[in-house]
Homo-oligomer: A and B are copies of this chain.
Amino acid sequence: MSLTAAAAKGTIDARLIMPFVNSTRNVLQTMLGLVTTIDRPRIKAVPAPEYDYSAIIGFSGKIVGVVVVSFRRETAIKMVTAFAGEVVEPDTSDFSDAIGELANMIAGAAKKDLGAVASISVPTVILGKGHIVTRPSDIPCMVIPCSTEAGEFAVEISIKQA
């Protein structure tokens, strides 16, 4: 599929995106004391790796799809340390739980803001450099690149109204 075809196919209603931009900023500010700079969103046309760790949250109900929060390893380590208030050994259950909980807070606040009757799944966290997360190709994926003092991460939103 060409980029143009994907972009044409891949229009996402901004009203579905903005709640995630807001909840990301709020969660990072409140929980980690970090200011988030949102870079230019882009459509992800072809499955490609984003970063090293990804937390995946499924949506079902009136909003269906998946939201992935993907972190560079160094960013994840700094954020989990700030979140837990102490150093947490990477690649342990506690570390994954913390990453998952951050994503859960972002998705949970956005869900509330969306105002739709939807439920979100518990987070699944993927560890592994170069892993690729793919979603059903009938739901376009918008990547929101974010940067903070602790490093870079991305929120990848693939949801639609059911």
Contact = CB atoms under 8 A, between A and B. Distances in A.
Contacts of A94: 137
Interface in A113-134: 119-128, 130-134
For chain A, the bracket of interface size reads 35 or more
Contacts of A132: 91, 126-128
Copies of this chain present in the complex amount to: 2
Given A58-B121, A121-B58, A122-B58, A47 B127 contact: yes
A56 interface: yes
A123 B65 CA distance: 8
Closest 4 CB pairs of A and B: A58-B121, A58-B58, A128-B131, A96-B134
30 contacts: A46-B93, A47-B91, A47-B96, A47-B127, A56-B58, A58-B121, A58-B122, A60-B121, A60-B122, A64-B122, A91-B132, A93-B134, A93-B137, A96-B134, A97-B136, A100-B134, A119-B119, A122-B135, A122-B136, A124-B133, A124-B134, A125-B134, A125-B135, A126-B132, A126-B134, A127-B131, A127-B134, A128-B128, A128-B130, A131-B131
